[in-house]
Structure 1
Amino acid sequence: MRQITDTLLMVRPVAFRMNEQTAVNNYFQEDIKNADVNKQAQQEFDDFVKKLNAVGVKTIVVDDVIEEDTPDSIFPNNWVSFHENGNIALYPMFAPNRRKERRLEYFARLEEAGFKINNIVDYTAAEEDDLFLEGTGSMLLDRVNQKAYCAISPRADEDLLIEFCEDFEFTPVIFTANQSVDGKRKPIYHTNVMMCLAEEFAVICLDTIDDAKERKNVLKHLKQDGKEIIAISEAQMHEFAGNMLQVQGAFDKKYLVMSAKAHGSLTKEQITKIEKHCEILSSDLHMIETCGGGSARCMMAEIFLPKTN
């Protein structure tokens, strides 16, 4: 099993803006009244893709469809995940307008690129019961050690997580992660905002796991699997320092991908720890982060499907 991949599915936005349907529990979003929001997001997206391609990371870029009015389509990792056994998982989404992001025609592009699809495991019927599990936003998959780390929230249902783990043979590592909003502790909407799992290390905001037993359990699992722990503060998490993804470029070189804002928030010591394992690749995603409430990791759906040839 591989933990990182060199190929990503990415969706170029056409109707990007702050999504009013997700803002109810994504406390990272801000509404910018600006006619150029989508245009700026497209520019940030294009620059980001160029940077990935320049180091040999392959991107399969598909265009969003204007008619569907899907403001968050730039974050495909929430509705789909791709697995080494040729299976694809489709996930139930909290916001009705995000459900329209699931476009099966994108899979034809993957097949054209030589990827093999064996089976689609569809969890989307759970939406009828108002139960959600938003892909690798809600779950951090340690594919090598077959563990799924998940902070329970309105967008991550525990029973659905367990169902996914049974189907895909992962062990669930369940906890609650909170952030301070107007003086109250409220659940963080996605696990991948407070945590990143790389091959040899984990970047994690331990301060968000208020329950000492849960925190200890998460650390136990990470250490058991030989991960170096790189702790970030809650303030750094708000700069999207938890929303990172390790990828593989040309000549098997590894990169930790993040936004310029996340990169700028890291201390010299944290950067040194990361650079022991891989290079940092960062890109300016200011508009996407501010309006979308998501960052670099959310924009990349990793493709682990087997090749047909």
Structure 2
Amino acid sequence: MIASIESTESARFGQSVQNANCVVMVPPKEFGFNAQTAADNEFQHQVTLDAKSVKHNAMTEFKAMVAGLRRAGIQVVEFDYPLDASETPDAVFPNNWFSTTHEGAFYTFPMACNNRQQEVRPQALIDSLTAAGRKVVAVDSLTKYLDQGAFLESTGVMVKDHVNKTIYAALSQRCEREALEDYARRIGYHRVVSFQTALPSGQPIYHTNVMMAIGEHFAVICSEVIPEYERRFVVKSLANTKQVIDITLEQVNQFCGNILQLETVNGDKVIAMSQSAFDAFTPAQKQQLSTHGKLLPFDVSTIENIGGGSVRCMLGEVFLPARVQSL
């Protein structure tokens, strides 16, 4: 177990507590409809496009997003990987299998579907992060929970308020409470706010980050999917320190909850989102969000429609400290 370090580590490396200034992105070279994840992801859709066209469109969207983030001043680490016999159609969503901390810890997580478990390549990613100038000082894993048939899909199922050391999580097949609380203990986060959700179908939200996002001073949430007996508590908890922007279920379907505040190399704030989300936010909501950072919309409609995830899912935050170069 890795001890949490109460420190000014983030300040030492010129990075805010809440926002990463570096992200991992994985090219969608095997992208396609994933039948395994479709069992509980109602945001996925099959299309009539042939597989070659789907991959071409997805790669075009991916490259444009990488270029746009870099222009905005975000460090992007492109993590490529060799093809093998096991296809990974959802590899473009790396935030579900790893996470990092300001103290230099690197965690891996138990994924629910077999073909998503094949995405977990810790040493290869650590090597890429090291080459990009980041330092990993400790490695830990929660994949032991696979033996119990329990899953915890990293920042897909957990939305973190790093400032207040609080994790928010919608419980589901992909978010097991015991594993969630174990992880919180490991990183020294003293509060876990877990809750139930229900879509019109009666099924829970598969990943918390499609209905909730937390920035340094704001939170986006679709409170209507939370049962009334829990809703008030969750919203009040957020409102204690954040400006709460409530979105509708219709806006969730356009991925308005799947956004991420980041920090540029110059310390400016930006909020990455899809073009679908940007178009679905009301003018008043856009105005509210723009007070917290420049809005950066990207057209990832192919990836959203077929993969059931959006811009935030494509971004694996890197909080690792910079390697100190020897003189």
Question: What is the alpha-carbon distance in structure 1 between the residues aligned to residue 188 and residue 251 of structure 2?
Answer: 33
What does 1:77-92 align with in structure 2 at a 5 Å threshold? 77-92=95-110
Amino acid in structure 1 at the alignment position of 2:238: L
1:300 is aligned to: 315
Question: What is the alpha-carbon distance in structure 2 between the residues aligned to residue 20 and residue 151 of structure 1?
Answer: 23
2:35 to 13, 16, 20: 20
Shift of the alpha carbon at 1:250?
4.1
CA contact (8 A) 1:64 1:73 kept: no
1:173 is aligned to: 193
CA contact (8 A) 1:41 1:287 kept: yes
Shift of the alpha carbon at 1:157?
0.3
Shift of the alpha carbon at 1:251?
2.4
2:275 to 225, 237, 260: 260
TM-score, with length taken from structure 1: 0.96
1:52 is aligned to: 69
What does 1:1-309 align with in structure 2 at a 5 Å threshold? 2-35=17-50, 36-67=53-84, 68-104=86-122, 105-170=124-189, 171-181=191-201, 185-210=202-227, 212-224=228-240, 226-309=241-324
Q: Which region of structure 1 is more displaced relative to structure 2, 282-291 or 106-115? A: 106-115
CA contact (8 A) 2:61 2:300 kept: yes
CA contact (8 A) 2:75 2:265 kept: no
SS at match of 1:261: helix
CA contact (8 A) 1:202 1:227 kept: yes
Amino acid in structure 2 at the alignment position of 1:279: K
The number of residues matched between the two structures is 304
Amino acid in structure 2 at the alignment position of 1:80: F
Question: What is the alpha-carbon distance in structure 1 between the residues aligned to residue 162 and residue 106 of structure 2?
Answer: 14
Identical counterparts, % of pairs? 36
SS at match of 2:292: coil
Amino acid in structure 2 at the alignment position of 1:247: L
SS at match of 1:161: helix
Question: What is the alpha-carbon distance in structure 2 between the residues aligned to residue 256 and residue 286 of structure 1?
Answer: 18
Shift of the alpha carbon at 1:306?
1.2
Q: Which runs of 5+ in 1 are unaligned?
A: none
CA contact (8 A) 2:97 2:108 kept: yes
Question: What is the alpha-carbon distance in structure 1 between the residues aligned to residue 63 and residue 185 of structure 2?
Answer: 38
Q: Which runs of 5+ in 2 are unaligned?
A: 1-9, 11-16
Question: What is the alpha-carbon distance in structure 2 between the residues aligned to residue 113 and residue 249 of structure 1?
Answer: 16
CA contact (8 A) 2:98 2:106 kept: yes
SS at match of 2:200: strand
CA contact (8 A) 1:19 1:292 kept: yes
Amino acid in structure 2 at the alignment position of 1:154: Q
Amino acid in structure 1 at the alignment position of 2:60: Q
Question: What is the alpha-carbon distance in structure 1 between the residues aligned to residue 136 and residue 21 of structure 2?
Answer: 18
Question: What is the alpha-carbon distance in structure 1 between the residues aligned to residue 66 and residue 77 of structure 2?
Answer: 10
Amino acid in structure 1 at the alignment position of 2:103: N
**What CA RMSD, in Å, does the superposition of the two structures yield over aligned residues?**
1.1
Amino acid in structure 1 at the alignment position of 2:200: S
